[in-house]
Amino acid sequence: MEDSNLLKKFSLRLEQLEKMPRIDDSKTITEVIKEKGFSRRDFMKFSGLAAASVALGNLGFDLKPAYAHAQILKIRMAKETTTICPYCACGCGIICHTDLVTGKVINTEGDPDHPINEGALCAKGAALFQMINNPNRITKPLYRRPYSYKWEEVTWEWALEQIAKRVKETRDKYFIRLNNKGQEVNRVEAIAHVGSAALDNEECWLIQAMMRALGLVYIEHQARI
């Protein structure tokens, strides 16, 4: 960001801070800055406005109301829904805030009413937001042909047809109806299923039911590995 833009933004922030409740009400923020010998440009040397806010906090300004207010503003008009963290078997509760205009998730945070995590999240769960809004997220199927060293984009129709065809072929070829003792087992040991870190409970149940119906016995989930 250019210096002039940063200075403008910082000036605006200072004006806002002027109006905020302070621990020492006898002085304005400008007076305190002057008293401490800081110029506005000095503040720009801090790594951004957040760092400047911390510095102002150190000067005796109570910034808690500002932080709380900024957080509330961000999600005030958003739709709130609850979900479960998809990453591991703990199943921590998460609140998602969705922008009513764009329909996009704008915030995720621990659900304080959830009996498992009571609002707390580990680093992975706390970073869930970036899984939803990530420009690097793969949204199209990729295929690596036999002996090829590169992945190529394919259509969903082609990919789903290939999966169905290969599952059918493998299942027909390796289906085991009776075990060594002559007991009926109706199982397939030549296919395994693993997945996924991004599935919710309901999706896991559906996949599990489908795999069992095919006769699979090797079924795993990322959370247990």
Q: Under the rule (CB under 6 A), what is the footprint of ligand SF4?
A: 85, 87-88, 90-92, 117, 121-122, 124-125
Of the chain, the end-to-end C-alpha distance in Å amounts to 44
Beta carbon nearer to ligand SF4, 107 or 170:
107
State the DSSP string of 88-153: STT--EEEEEE-TTT--EEEEEE-TT-TTTTT---HHHHTTHHHHS-TT---S-EE--TT-SS-EE
Between CA 25 and CA 116 the distance in angstroms is 43
Is the CB of 99 or the CB of 109 nearer to ligand SF4?
109
Q: Choose between 92 and 216: whose C-beta lies nearer to ligand SF4.
A: 92
Rounded to the nearest whole angstrom, what is the least distance from the CB of residue 225 to ligand SF4 in the complex?
Answer: 13
Q: In the complex, what is the shortest distance from the CB of residue 50 to ligand SF4, in angstroms, rounded to a whole number?
A: 25
Q: Which is nearer to ligand SF4, 66 or 94 (CB)?
A: 94
Smallest distance, Å, CB 99 to ligand SF4? 23
Q: Compute the Cα dihedral for 83, 87, 92, 97 and give only its sign.
A: negative
Between 123 and 213, CB nearer to ligand SF4: 123
Which residue number places its CB atom closest to ligand SF4?
A: 125
As measured in angstroms, the least distance from the Cβ of 123 to ligand SF4 is: 8
- Joined together, the tokens standing for residue 36 give 């401490």
User: What is the rounded (10 degree) CA torsion for 117, 121, 124, 128?
Assistant: 100
Residue 9 Cβ, how far from ligand SF4 at the closest point, in Å? 34
